[in-house]
Structure 1
Amino acid sequence: MKINPKDIEQAACDLYIRALKMLPDDVKAGFQRLSQNESNDTAKAVLDTMTRNIAVAEVNDNLLCQDTGVPIYNVTVGRNVELDGGALKAAIRSGCERATREHPLRSSVVHPLNRRNEQTSCGHKVPVIHIDYDDVDQHLSLEMIPKGSGSENNSWLKMALPAEGVGAIHEFVIDCVLRAGAKTCPPVVVGVGIGGTADLCVHLAKIAATRGLGSACSDPEGAELERKLSAAVNMLGVGPQGLGGDATAFAVHIELAATHISMNPIAVNMQCHSARRARATFTPTGIEYGV
């Protein structure tokens, strides 16, 4: 299967807009679940207001949030797929620029030193593009995640000692959620990376934070820790928008990697209640859009 860079460009453009305007069904279901289980009247009213905001944005074809974020594109390439890597990256960047200029969107991307904004949502090494591979035949997946500063600013890394055990993970995650408070616009998805190296651990936390609700860590011990931490986080009383209540988080998600015998990195990355993402799947029969 040969991929046309022009198709990648158009998909990158479309996905940015779809992610900013269409909240995934699993997140909508997450709101409904939290609202049904909420015991605090104020928190329940806040959740209902959030739900109405989502509905109004979609009916009016408007943005779910004014923060268009730092654009992240995750590419997964299957077997028997022919493409030009350089052209792939250029096409994604071009699609991202087009989305920002043609709709138009507020560009949130600036130079880190002089803070100059090119008004394209692009800059040096941005959009962020991750490329991975799997064994699905004649298949390419392009996922778009706009990562806003409210969630991205609440990111932490701890190089824990192995002797501290699982208790250090539990304590660190709880401390991070309390430190974030209302700043991440809860209810949130708490992404936790465990193991690997420092940079891999932080990347794993972001993968975890942007995973679909209802999914579980592929490692059984990781999945069990997810369940325990999800329950613990929702006992903290932070609540929707930090105003108190049971609904502090949709879930805690964990991703693991093997690590060195003398260290145990732990990273936390959060996703706000507007947990936006969109996906295009390329196959020999065409392009299918979803989440």
Structure 2
Amino acid sequence: MKVINTELIKQAVSKLCKQICYIMPDDVNMALSNAKESERSKLGKEILAQILLNANLAKNGVAPICQDTGMVVVFIEIGQDVRLVGEYLEDAINSGVAQAYTQGYLRKSIVSEPLFERKNTLNNTPCIIHQRIVRGDKIRLEIGTKGFGSENKSVLKMLTPADGIDGVKNVFKQAVLDAGPNACPPLIIGVGIGGTMEKAAIMAKKAAFRSIDSQNQNPKYANLENELLDIARSTGIGPQGLGGDTTALKVNVEYFATHIAGLAVAININCHATRHAQMYI
């Protein structure tokens, strides 16, 4: 049994939140650089160059990558041989987020309830927390911060099995077209297929934070990732919606078992600054 004080989790969350708001992930930075070289549109090339310049300025501390420093999403995997001590886990995670957003002078965008008063909580909490118990004696933190220019363009659709792969592709293409320039392309898109309504949505969010260099381990779904990427690029929306080849940098797909009558599909749209990082404790 390994004992871990939740103070370590709090400080890790704080560090990662500040990091991802200023430092573009290496995989995203490389994908943008490669896209700049391959983009055929002159304007598209210029836009990608400006995106890379902005990322470099942010890395040097001039300002965050984006003014919308987002709503924090935390995926935490806790080894079943870990014993947590100290502050209640969710309180520790939210304390880490609050510390990062106040000490780091990051924009606070969270309101305490969604419909009536919409009063700002002034520290960017609460965040979204997804917990999972896994084998082992370690804790894995994966953190992303989600701006809502892109989050608002995400889609959940309950298809039937008869809709099949063509139905999934149609939902995906329509989501990309509806997002258009408003989600700040080039996009990184997570797709969740199967499970139930909420499972598909969570898979899509987790897929969106997966490395651009990765592929689904199932060859059929890896091939589907490539097909969906081609569909996104075929729209011609291009960087910042001004035309070109690079409408999307990557599409990641996750899947899960489902009911004989079900085919849930979730599309999580992310802007080019898909801010994410992970750490083991």
TM bucket (normalised to shorter chain) is over 0.9
Q: Does 1:117 align with 2:120?
A: yes
**Are 2:6 and 2:87, in contact at CA under 8 Å, matched by a contact in 1?**
no
Name the counterpart of 2:209: 210
- SS class of match (1:225): helix
Matches within 5 A, 1:161-180: 161-180=160-179
Cα distance in 2 for residues equivalent to 1:142 and 1:252? 22
Distance 2:130 2:77 in 1: 8
Structure 1 runs of 4+ aligned residues shifted over 4 Å read none
In 1, Cα distance between equivalents of 2:122 and 2:235:
40
1:61 CA drift (Å): 5.0
The answer on 1:29 being equivalent to 2:52 is no
Distance in 2, Cα, partners of 1:112 & 1:163: 36
Alpha-carbon deviation of 1:145? 0.8
Task: Report the Cα offset of residue 86 of structure 1.
Answer: 6.7
User: Does the 8 A contact of 2:22 with 2:61 survive in 1?
Assistant: no
Q: Is the 8 A contact 1:100 1:119 kept in 2?
A: no
Structure 1: give runs of 5+ residues left out of the alignment: 283-291
Offset, 1:245? 0.1
Tell me which residue corresponds to 2:151.
Answer: 152
Contact 1:201 1:265 in 2 (8 A): yes
* Number of residues of Structure 1 aligned to a counterpart in Structure 2: 278
In the alignment, structure 2 segments of 5+ residues that lack a partner are none
CA deviations over 1:172-220 (Å, ceiling 9, x no partner) = 1011101100111000111111111111111111111111101111222
Aligned positions of 1:54-203 closer than 5 A? 54-84=55-85, 87-110=88-111, 111-113=113-115, 114-122=117-125, 126-135=126-135, 137-203=136-202
> Aligned partner of 1:272: which letter?
C
Q: Measured at CA, do residues 175 and 85 of structure 1 come closer, stay the same or move farther in structure 2, by a change above 3 Å?
A: farther
AA partner of residue 12 (structure 1) = V
User: Contact 1:230/1:251 (CA < 8 Å) preserved in 2?
Assistant: yes
SS, match of residue 13 in structure 2: helix
What percent identity do the matched residue pairs reach?
37
TM-score (norm 2): 0.95
> 1:80 deviation in Å?
2.3
- C-alpha separation in 2, matches of 1:86 and 1:195: 36
Conserved? CA contact 1:239–1:247, under 8 Å: yes
TM-score after normalising by structure 1: 0.92
**Matched residue SS, 1:213:** coil
CA contact (8 A) 2:5 2:85 kept: no
Aligned equivalents of 2:205, 2:11: Cα separation in 1: 25
Match of 1:46 in 2: 47
Aligned residues: CA RMSD: 1.4
Measure the CA separation in 2 of the matches of 1:79 and 1:36. 46
* Whole-Å separation in 2 of the counterparts to 1:94 and 1:116: 19
- Residue deviations 1:83-118 (CA, integer Å, cap 9, x gap): 159722111111111112222221100131211002
